[in-house]
């Protein structure tokens, strides 16, 4: 399913570019993509969402995290990239 773009971003997944919508279930959840691998790598070196928020707070930044948005974006990028490879 493609993104449903309204005012520059998808109304389903919220990403600012078109392509395969990450909010759809077009891809089986068992398929690992770039965002999944990045999350796994960071967790392997003990960087979790909670740890990241704590680190930011120690340095005077707001203890927020856009981890899930970033993961979704990376997964969408890998889907677009893999789609282009498979179509060529």
Domain count, the chain: 1
Residue-level pLDDT at 77: 87
Task: Give a yes or no: residue 1 inside a domain.
Answer: no
Residue span of the structural domain in which 40 resides: 26-87
* Residue 74 belongs to some domain of the structure: yes
Domain assignment present for 81: yes
| β-pairing verdict for 5-6 and 9-10 | antiparallel
Q: How far apart are CA 66 and CA 55, in angstroms?
A: 14
Domain presence at residue 11: no
pLDDT at 9: 75
Structural tokens at position 78: 């890998």
Instruction: Specify if 80 maps to a domain.
Output: yes
Rounded mean pLDDT, 29-46: 86
In a domain, 12, yes or no: no
Where is pLDDT greater, at 85 or 80?
Answer: 80
Structural domain includes residue 8:
no
Average pLDDT, integer, range 41-59: 93
Mean pLDDT over the full length of the chain: 79
Give the C-alpha separation, 88 to 22, whole Å.
22
Mean pLDDT of 68-83: 85
- Is the residue at 10 inside a domain? no
């Amino acid at each position: 399913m493609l993104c449903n773009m309204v005012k520059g971003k998808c109304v389903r997944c919220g990403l600012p570019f078109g392509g395969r919508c990450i909010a759809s279930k077009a891809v089986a959840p068992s398929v690992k993509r770039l965002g999944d691998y990045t999350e796994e790598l960071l967790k392997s070196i003990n960087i979790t969402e909670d740890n990241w928020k704590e680190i930011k707070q120690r340095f005077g930044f707001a203890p927020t995290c856009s981890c899930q948005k970033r993961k979704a974006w990376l997964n969408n990028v890998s889907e677009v990239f893999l789609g282009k490879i498979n179509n060529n």
